[in-house]
Structure 1
Amino acid sequence: MANILIATHWTGGDVYPFIRIGKALKRRGHDVTIFTHCIYKNIVEQDGMKFVPWDSPDEYEQLMNDLPLLVDPLRNLDGMLTFYGRHHNNEKTLMEYRKISEYCSKKDTVILARHRSAISALLAAEKFNIPVVSVFLAPNYISHLQIHEEIFGDIMKKTVNEIRKALNLKPIECWTSWICSPKRKLGLWPEWFAHPDETWPSGLICVGFYVEEAGDKEELPPEIVEMLNGDSKPILITAGTSKMIRPEFYEVASEACRILGKTGILVTLYDELVPKPLPDNVKRFQKLSIRSLLPHVDAVIHHGGIGTTSEATAAGIPQLILPHLTDGPDNAHRLRGLGIAELLPPLRWKPHLLAAKLTTLMSQDYRSRCLKFSQYIRQEDSESNICRAIEQVIGNNDFLISN
C-alpha cells in the first residue's frame, strides 16, 4: 500500500478529477491524502480519504472572486500577477509546502500534482526525493507552455528561486523546464481527442477521459424528475463552477431555448450571473449533478471546460459550446472536428444563431456520432490506465525530480 499525496487548486473542474482519482486509488488499497480548498472537506472525507485544506472559507471566496483576473493574461498581465501575488505568493507556497511535508515521511510515498498550480507539491517531491506525477487536465496546457514562458517565465523563475533558496534547493534556470520536470505526466484525455506530437513534453501519457461509472451518479431532485417526464427532453445550460464566463452567456442561451420552445435547465451557483427575468420555459438551479442529468437532455450549452466536455461526450449528448476562456476554445475546436459539437465565438453569441445551431445538433446524424464516441469512452477503462500509471512510480527512483 502506497502513501498517495494529491495536490490541486482552483475550480471544481480542477479539483473533482483529482478526488475521483483519489477514490480509485483508495479502492485499490492505497492511503490517500488530498490537499485542496476547504469546501471539499466533506466530499473527500466521506470516501475515507484524508483531507488537508489550503485555506479558510473567506480565503476561498476571495480566490473565486479573483479568478476573472486570469481571463486574458496576454492583454492583462498585471491582473494575472495580482492573482498570483494574492493566492500563490511565496508565503502561501511555503505554507502549502509545510503542510505536504508533514505527510512525506512514510515509505512508498507518491505525490500527484496538478500541472502549473501545485508548485508546493513539486518542491516537496524534490526536497524529499519522492516520485511525482504531474497531471495535465486539458491539451491546451501543453500548447500554452511556450507562450507562458515568453510572457511570465522570468517572473515565475525569480519567484520560485526565492522559495528554493529558503529550502536550500539549487536555483532553476527555466520555469517551463522545471514545471515540466516530473518524468511521469498524465493527460486526462484520449489520444483520439488530442494526439501526441513532437511539441509535447516527454513522459506524457494519454489515459482517456476519466468519468465515473453510472453507479456513482447522484439522484436528481423531484422537481427535475417531473420536468424530465414531459413530452420533450430539455436543454442543459451550464458554464461550470466558476465565475469565469462572459455575463451574456446565460442570457443568450436562455433566449435560444425560448425561441425553440424548449425547456431549459440553467445551472449556476452565482445569482449575479442569472438573467433577470428568465424566460418562463427556463428554470434555474444552483447545483445539480450534471453527470446524472446529461443522459436525459437533448443537448447541452456550455463553456467548453474539459470537465463538462468529457462528461457530455461520455453521455453521448450533442454540445453547443460558447468558448471564451482557458481551455474552452481549444476543446471546442477539437469536438467540432470530431463532428459531435458546434461552437460560436463571443462575437456570434446571438440567440437566433444559437437556436439554429441547436436545431442542427439535435438531428439524428449528430446523435449517432455522439453515441459512437460515447462507446469509445466506455471501452477505454481510463480508471485502470490512471491507476497503473501512478502505481508504476511507487518506490521507483527513475521518477524522482533531479536537484
Structure 2
Amino acid sequence: MATVVLTTHGTNGDVLSFVQLGRALAARGHDVTIATHARYGPTARAAGIEFVALDTEREYVRYLADARDMLDARVGSASLPDLRGHYERNDLFGQIRREVEVVARRHRPGETVVVGRHTSGLSALIAAEAFGVPAVWVAMTPAQHLLLPVQAHVHRTELAAGVDAVRADFGLPPVGDWPAWMSGADRQIGLWPKWFDAAGTPTPAEVDRVGFLLNDAAESGAPPAELTDLLAAGEPPVLVAASSGQMLWEPFYTAALAACRRAGRRVVLVSPHPESLPDPLPPEVTWFPRLPYREVVPRMAAVIHHGGIGTLGRCLVSGVPQLVLAHSFDQPDTGARLQRLGVARWLPSTRWDPDLAGELLVELLTEPRYAERSRRFGAAVDLAATAAAACASIESVLPVPADR
C-alpha cells in the first residue's frame, strides 16, 4: 500500500475526475488523501478518501468571481490577465504552501507519491524536491501541454517571486529554468484517449493518454419530477449546460438560447449561478441549478456548452451531439477537436452570433451523422479501463512495489 496525495483546483471538470481517481486508487489498497476546495468535501468523503479543505466555501466563491472578473477585464485587450493579482487577492501562494504541508504530514519515505493537476499543481513539484517523493501531473485536456511554454513564461514573469518564497520555506532555491521545471514531473498523465489526441495537435510522446475519466457516482441521481414531466411531454429538448464556475456571461446565453429558438426546441438550462442568467428567461426555457447528468444527458437532443472536459466526456458517453461555444483557456482547442471528430460544431467567443449558432444547432439536430458518430466514439469510452490505467501509471513511479 502506498500513500497518495492528490491536489487539484478549479471547478467540476477539474475536481470530480480527481475524486474518481482517488476512489480507484483506494480500491487498489492505497491510502489516499485529496486536498482541494471545501465545496467538494462531501463528494470526496463519499468516495471513501480522506479530504483536506484548501479554503472555505466563501473563499471559493470569491476565487471563482475573481477569476471571472480577471478574464472579463482582458476581453478585447492584448495584455495578459493579472495573474499575480489574482494569486495575491486569493492567497494562492499560501494555498501552495498549505498543499506542500499536507504532503509533509503524510510523507512515508519510499512509499509516497504526490499527484497534482497540470499547471496549477505547483505544490506537487515543490514537494517532490523537498521530500524526495515522485510527482505525477495529470492534465485534463491536451491544451494544457500545448500551452505550457506560454504558462511557463507567465509564471516566470508574474508568479516567480511568490513561488520562490514558498520554495524557500522548504529549503529550496529559486526556480532557474521555468519551462524545464514545469515539465519535470516524474510522470505525465492525460485524461483523454489517443483518438482525441489525434484529432488535433498531438501532445508530447511522454504523456500517458489513459482516456476520459468521469465521476458517475457524483453525476447520478433521480431527475426532478419537473424534468421528468417535461421529457414526457414532447420531443427531446436541448440542454444548455453552463459552467459549474462563473466564467460565462451574457453573450453565451444570448447565443445559446437564440439557437434553440431557431431550432424550435425546448430548453433545459442548467447553471448553479442564477445571477448570471437572463431575467426573465424565455417561456420555452426551464432552469435547474443542477441535474444528474448521467441520467439526463442521454435524453437530450443535443447539448450546448462551453467546452469543459467533463461535459464533453458526458456527451460522448451519452451519444449526444454538441455545440461548443468556447470561451477561453483550453476550450477552443477542445471544440476544434470535437468538430474534427464529427461529433460537434463549435464557435469561438468572437463568433458567438445568435444566427450562426442557430444554423449550427439545426445542422446538429437534422443530420444523423452527428449522433451516429457520437454514439460510435462514446462506445469506445471505457471508464473502468481509464481508471485502472491511470492508477497503474501512478503506481509505476513508486520507488517500491505497491503492496495490494
Same-fold status (TM-score > 0.5): yes
Residue matched to 2:144: 141
Matched positions, count? 397
Q: 1:212 to 1:12 in 2, by over 3 A?
A: closer
Q: 1:165 to 1:84 in 2, by over 3 A?
A: same
Question: Does the 8 A contact of 2:213 with 2:386 survive in 1?
Answer: yes
Deviation per CA, 1:257-289, whole angstroms, max 9, x where unpaired?
Answer: 223321100001112221112111110111112
Counterpart-to-counterpart distance in 1, 2:124 and 2:152? 20
AA at the equivalent of 1:298: A
Q: 1:13 to 1:212 in 2, by over 3 A?
A: closer
Q: 1:76 to 1:243 in 2, by over 3 A?
A: farther
Residue matched to 1:368: 372
AA at the equivalent of 1:113: G
Question: Does the 8 A contact of 1:185 with 1:205 survive in 2?
Answer: yes
TM-score (norm. length: structure 2): 0.91
Q: 1:386 to 1:220 in 2, by over 3 A?
A: same
Residue matched to 2:51: 51
Residue matched to 1:179: 182
Deviation per CA, 1:291-332, whole angstroms, max 9, x where unpaired?
Answer: 321100000000011111111112111001111111110000
AA at the equivalent of 1:384: A
Tell me which of 286, 294, 298 is aligned to 2:301: 298
TM-score (norm. length: structure 1): 0.91
Q: 1:322 to 1:42 in 2, by over 3 A?
A: same
Tell me which of 384, 389, 392 is aligned to 1:385: 389
5+ residue gaps in structure 1?
A: 398-403
Q: Which moved more, 1:229-238 or 1:69-78?
A: 69-78
Question: Does the 8 A contact of 1:156 with 1:175 survive in 2?
Answer: no
Counterpart-to-counterpart distance in 2, 1:94 and 1:212? 28
RMSD: 2.5
Counterpart-to-counterpart distance in 2, 1:386 and 1:211? 12
Counterpart-to-counterpart distance in 2, 1:304 and 1:168? 40
Residue matched to 1:75: 78
Counterpart-to-counterpart distance in 2, 1:56 and 1:378? 35
Counterpart-to-counterpart distance in 2, 1:107 and 1:144? 33
AA at the equivalent of 1:172: V
Residue matched to 1:243: 246
Q: 1:151 to 1:109 in 2, by over 3 A?
A: closer
Q: Which moved more, 1:248-257 or 1:330-339?
A: 248-257
Q: 1:118 to 1:277 in 2, by over 3 A?
A: same
Counterpart-to-counterpart distance in 2, 1:97 and 1:284? 41
Residue matched to 1:395: 399
Counterpart-to-counterpart distance in 2, 1:181 and 1:76? 28
Q: How high is the sequence identity, in percent, across the aligned residues?
A: 34
Question: Does the 8 A contact of 1:133 with 1:184 survive in 2?
Answer: yes
Counterpart-to-counterpart distance in 1, 2:92 and 2:273? 27
5+ residue gaps in structure 2?
A: none
Residue matched to 1:400: none
* Helix, strand or coil at the partner of 1:34: strand
Q: Which moved more, 1:54-63 or 1:116-125?
A: 116-125
Q: Give 1:187 deviation, angstroms.
A: 0.6
AA at the equivalent of 1:276: D
Deviation per CA, 1:199-256, whole angstroms, max 9, x where unpaired?
Answer: 8456311001112459973221121111121220010001221111232212321232
